[in-house]
Amino acid sequence: MNKMTLRAVIAVLALVLPFSAVVPAQATPLVRLMEKDLGQRRPGGCPSKWCACYMDQILKRAGFQSRGSNRARDFASYGKTTKTAKVGSIMVMRNHVGVVMGKCDNGQVKIISGNYSKKVAVGCYPASKAIAWRDPIKAR
């Protein structure tokens, strides 16, 4: 996707999302990398519950600081706090973690994550499931 198209998509999302659609500039490469992984199975070195392990690996690949944990809820203290769901932010749930891509047709939060139906995939979750919303931070 070229920069013009990406900007147009972001502008449209800003108009239709009920939550903050501000896209942190640093989050764009993270979402793009994850989209390239769609359909991939569990990465090597990850346990059977691998969403957090994948998140850690993808953060590192995108040039962000990794969390160093295989537990989804540990991401609740990662990065910078953000009070709302926004494209590019990390949605942390008790037993799952992923990156916000937008809004699903049913109004739920659309995230891309590892170990959704045993692969990297897009899913919809109620915002009420979130225990934290976090923004990724650049590696030092």
pLDDT in tens, 40-80: 999 989 999 999 999 999 999 999 999 989 999 999 999 99
pLDDT at 27: 56
According to the model, what pLDDT value does residue 135 have?
Answer: 93
Say which amino acid occupies 43: P
- The verdict on pTM exceeding 0.85 is no
What are 83-102's pLDDT values in tens digits?
A: 888 889 999 999 999 999 99
pLDDT band at 1 (very low <50, low <70, confident <90, very high): low
Domain ranges in the chain?
3-135
The architecture of the domain spanning 3-135 is Alpha-Beta Complex (3.90)
